[in-house]
Amino acid sequence: MKKRYKLAIHVAAWAFFGAWIFYIQFQRGLTLGKAIDSLVGLSFAMLIFYLNWYVLIPRYLARNRILLYIALILATLTTVALVRSPLDFFVFREFNPGMQVLYSSDRILNYVLAGLIVVFISSALKVTGNYIRNERRNKELENQKLTAELNFLKSQVNPHFLFNTLNNIYSLAYKQSPETPDAIMKLSLLMRYMLYESNDTLVSLEKEVDHIHNFIDLQKLRLREQTSIRFNIDGELAGKQIAPMLLMTLVENAFKHGLVSRNEIGIGLDLKVQDDALLFTTVNNTSSHKKREFGGIGLQNLQQRLNLLYHNRHELNFEEKDGTFYASLKLYFQPKK
């Protein structure tokens, strides 16, 4: 909050408090003496308030020197009471004939109790304000950390994806395939999406699906008829948004670990979209002679991104059974109730 706004709030609060005091005095019969006495009392209240606000709380209470803070508060209130009592006696006695003695235990106690109320209000406002500022600062730091972690994870996704795709194009070029230019064009579409459209926190689900289609088309140029690739979509994509490159990690994983022999290989991709969630599953063959290892770089990266972006709003599961690897990811568009 800017200083001028804080100053305006403080001035308005004290003006309201002073007006309330004078209204009470007016109801009881306002006199010149009572008005002057009220102004003096308001001045002492402001002294206690800001002494506590700017000195005692930052130097002692905020540093957990609680006993010393309490002792200084009591000493301050006692000093103010001892100063104000003779001031009232000599200055306002003519306006208040009932004031017969210089020091009165009742009057001193009333001054101390009134000061405690001011201290309580000052401390409550200061501590609450500090808490709100610290929470806001922690939130900003958390957001900065989240952004840094996501940028780091995305920097891992893109080179990993590019490395695999360039290997595919190299294979076509090595065989002098006439479809190499088409593969390069598909790669350019993939890279355009990754460089220019996936920097946003969320992208449309339609764009993410188009990206998957381009990836599958690029894979088909290399695999030809030896691979059966199925991609089914159930539900309405329009209007739905998703963090970019999440589904692609599972697609890449299915192709990377599903292509394990020269026999016909099946890869199944299913996307089911509902109003509140989407379910994406992949199915692919695995090697019969090599044990499948879960938790590669891509899947670990995916789990980290999900924890950051969809905390308590995702379900990620893997299973290998009878030579087939199953992966499923469920994302909730809104927090679960």
Same domain, 230 and 298: yes
Return the residue matching tokens 């001054």.
111
Is the Cα dihedral 39, 25, 83, 42 positive or negative? negative
Same domain, 134 and 182: no
Distance of CA 317 to the CA centre of its chain: 26
Of 241, 242, 255, 266, whose CA–CA distance to 298 is shortest?
255
Lookup: tokens for 70: 């309490």
Mean pLDDT, residues 170-189: 82
Strand partners, 318: 327
Give alpha helix (H) positions in 175-296: 180-192, 205-223, 246-258
3-state secondary structure of 118: helix
How far apart (Å, rounded) are the C-alpha atoms in residues 22 and 41? Answer: 12
Same domain, 184 and 315: yes
- Is the per-residue pLDDT at 228 higher than 70? yes
212 inside domain:
yes
Show contacts of 61-64: CB within 8 Å, 24+ apart: 61/123, 61/127, 62/130
Same domain, 201 and 120: no
Q: In what order do the strands lie in the sheet with 265-273?
A: 227-234, 265-273, 277-285, 324-332, 314-321
- Is the per-residue pLDDT at 266 higher than 90? no
pLDDT score, position 72 = 92
Distance of CA 99 to the CA centre of its chain: 60
Distance of CA 243 to the CA centre of its chain: 16
170 inside domain:
no
Whether the CB-CB separation of 258 and 305 falls below 8 Å is answered with no
- Is the per-residue pLDDT at 197 higher than 70? yes
Strands 324-332 and 314-321, by their bridges, are: antiparallel
* CB environment 313-335: b (16+ within 10 A), e (fewer): ebebebeeeeeebebbbbbbbee
Which residues have C-beta within 8 Å of that of residue 91, sequence separation ≥ 6? 36
Same domain, 197 and 283: yes
- pTM here? 0.54
The whole domain housing 30 covers: 3-138
118 inside domain:
yes
CATH number at residue 268: 3.30.565.10
Of 301, 325, 302, 324, whose CA–CA distance to 315 is shortest?
302
Which residues have C-beta within 8 Å of that of residue 296, sequence separation ≥ 6? 253
150 inside domain:
no
Same domain, 120 and 242: no
**DSSP-assigned letters across all residues of 62-83:** TTT-HHHHHHHHHHHHHHHHHH
Look over the chain and give the mean of its residue pLDDT values, rounded to a whole number. 78
Number of domains in the chain: 2
- Is the per-residue pLDDT at 164 higher than 90? no
Same domain, 127 and 191: no
Least confident stretch, 100-114, 182-196, 265-279, 288-302: 288-302
Same domain, 252 and 313: yes
pLDDT score, position 291 = 45
pLDDT greater at residue 302 or residue 116: 116
pLDDT digits (tens, 9 = 90+) for 20-73: 777 676 666 666 666 677 777 888 888 999 999 999 988 888 888 889 999 999
pLDDT score, position 199 = 72
pLDDT score, position 158 = 55
